[in-house]
Chains A and B, each alone.
Chain A
Amino acid sequence: MRYLSRSLQMQDLSINLVAVLDEMPIGVCLVSKERRIVLMNRALEAMTGFLRADCTGLPCSHILRLNHCFDNCPVKRMEGGQRCVLEGDIINQDNQKLPVRMTFAPLIDGTGRISGYIETLEDLRQVSNFDLARINPFSLGRLIGRSPQMGKIFQSLPVIAQSEMPVLITGQIGTGKYLVAEAIHHASSRAKNPFVIFRCGALPEFLVESELFGVEKGGFAGADNKPGKFRLAQNGTLYITEIGDLTPSLQAKLLNWLDEKIIYPLGSSKSFHADVRIIAGTTRDLSQMAKEATFRNELYFRLNAVSLHLPPLKERVEDLRLLVDHFLHASASLLNKKITGFSDPCLKRLLEYDYPGNILELRHIVEYAVSLSQAERIELGDLPAYLTENLPCLDAKSPNSPSPRESDALSADRGFDWSTIERKMIIDALMKAKGRRSEAAQLLGWGRSTLWRKMRHYGITCESVQVNEKSSHCA
């Protein structure tokens, strides 16, 4: 900051400059003539994943990692004093490649000389999502549907998006809770700010706390500075998945934030004001959990003030054909295949099936069939084996739709939950691929690492899949 004040002659403004930049919805950084970071705002911290304290004095190309930095540095190009605007991409600390629009402009001092540069970064992900929404009349963001249930959700989303209240999204696994949260964010006034996702269920308690609220170096043994999801989502939206998995102590901390909007990172005595909208998702029945005292009543009431329930796919009969066609075209275009549709028996089976894993399962089934099909039409034999064998199905005709929890329990009782199906799909694919994992991954339409991770999750080894001994090697 001292350097900034001296070189940019902003002594009077320097105290407030950080606060002013932090309120800006786009990433901003000031760099010296030598192209080293002098200051970056909070939005840029969220985009890059770097904390400004860690990167002051470092070359901007190491922090921003813009593709243009390496073949044609825009700042070098600008030495004549011309402002320039470029589109490109950056890779952030979370290993995501983000499309951005960057503006570079020189900062001229009192004597007319260039004393540094200002760089702004605008995240273009929202722009592409908006375009996607315009081309499909039965969609909102990446949500698709024309059933009355989805119609109601599409109608209420813009209204919900304009409010600042927390939102609770309930629904079974694979019903599209994440997409609803994303659509709310993109339709809200926070759309130009970060949309950050936090998965509760995947981490042990002490890591959940540090990941969510941040930690200061030394906060616990071996801890490094970590901004935390609240800081990364500043001025934007934080989507917390599986909120029902939060421990009571973290529920209390979250409740405290809802009241005061103040966050104390672990090991730090300094607090900060987190201007974040929270959206929580869950497959559990939080009202029941609140009754059983496993979820705090106050937190449930605060979250449940605005709630959305996503129906399971079997209750969205009108959407099924639309979704089948959508996934068919998406997968065929991705895999560069000229598939025009399904044979009648195949389509009949797809439309009859109950989809306990909901849209996620439907997508995987279609991707699998598209990968496997060698003809212009997908045949019954191209579907995963469990769909063509006589397996028990959930009762689709029940007039009272079970709550997510009941439904999961029901599925589990019949030994036919999503995990079972996914496990079977993996085994089927491995058997069809004669144990070759890369081929099996291709059949499933997944990356090889996804297959590997899921095999590890379900404890599947190639030895456990009974394939011909000669071909039972894993590629």
Chain B
Amino acid sequence: MKKVLIVLDGNDIAPRFDLSLELLIVSLGKGGKPARKRDLVLARPSVEELCRVVSAENAHTVICGGIEKEYLQYLEWKNVEVIHSVIGPAEVALRRFRKGSLKSRDILLKERKA
């Protein structure tokens, strides 16, 4: 089962990884369908805590906005795929990820308007 962790700011992907307080953890089942969705709220923004959660959850992929190089390299070192600098609603990003077409620096906000 693949686990995807999306850092949230309301319904959108949080613009900054280090300052986000909310996470959406999605477990993808057979055929890539979401089998389980969980929200996790941190007491305070902490990038170390976020990295710890990513490790503890054994997440395969992190979808986020801006992330500092140091933490990007750390997560990649941990064999976590990081799709970063994504702008837009988490739902749209997840849909695209399941189709295999989400990539770093994608701007998805216009899709919501349409």
Contacts and interface: CB of A to CB of B under 8 A. Distances in A.
Interface of A: 54-55, 57-59, 61-62, 65, 67, 69-71, 90-97, 224, 447-450, 452
Interface of B: 9, 12, 14-16, 18-19, 45, 65-70, 72-74, 76-77, 84-85, 87, 105, 107, 109-110
A69 B69 contact: no
A70 B77 contact: no
B65 A448 contact: no
Given A70-B9, A91-B16, A62 B73 contact: no
Contacts of A62: 12, 15, 65, 87, 109
Contacts of B77: 448-449, 452
Given A95-B72, A95-B84, A54 B107 contact: yes
Contact of B67 (A91, A447, A452): A91
Given A54-B107, A58-B87, A93-B105, A447 B70 contact: yes
A95 B68 contact: yes
B73 A449 contact: yes
A97 B15 contact: no
Contacts of B15: 61-62, 65, 69-70
Given A58-B109, A70-B19, A91 B73 contact: no
B73 A447 contact: yes
Contacts of A55: 107
Nearest to B84: A95
A308 B54 CA distance: 48
Nearest to B16: A65
A97 B107 contact: no
5 contacts: A67-B16, A71-B19, A94-B69, A224-B105, A447-B74
A91 B66 CA distance: 6
A365 to B, nearest CB: 23
A69 B16 CA distance: 10
Nearest to A95: B69
B72 to A, nearest CB: 5
B16 A70 contact: yes
Nearest to B105: A93
A92 B73 CA distance: 16
Nearest to A71: B19
Contact of B68 (A93, A97, A224): A97
A216 to B, nearest CB: 16
A454 to B, nearest CB: 12
Contacts of B16: 65, 67, 70, 91
A55 B15 CA distance: 14
A210 to B, nearest CB: 15
B17 to A, nearest CB: 8
Contacts of A449: 73-74, 76-77
Nearest to B74: A449
A245 B16 CA distance: 36
A261 B19 CA distance: 41
B52 to A, nearest CB: 15
A34 to B, nearest CB: 13
A449 B15 CA distance: 24
A94 B105 CA distance: 10
A69 B70 CA distance: 22
A237 to B, nearest CB: 22
A38 to B, nearest CB: 15
Given A67-B19, A70-B9, 18 more contacts: A54-B107, A58-B109, A61-B15, A65-B15, A65-B16, A65-B65, A65-B66, A70-B14, A70-B45, A91-B16, A91-B68, A94-B69, A95-B67, A95-B69, A95-B72, A448-B77, A449-B76, A452-B77
Contacts of B84: 95
A97 B67 CA distance: 9
Contacts of B14: 70
Nearest to B75: A449
B87 A448 contact: no
Nearest to A67: B19
Nearest to A92: B66
Nearest to B85: A93
B14 to A, nearest CB: 8
Nearest to B107: A54
B79 to A, nearest CB: 10
Contacts of A57: 110
A392 to B, nearest CB: 35
Contacts of A95: 66-69, 72, 84
Contacts of A69: 15
Nearest to B71: A95
A93 B87 CA distance: 12
Nearest to A438: B77
A97 B47 CA distance: 14
A73 to B, nearest CB: 12
B67 to A, nearest CB: 6
Contacts of A71: 19
Contacts of A452: 77
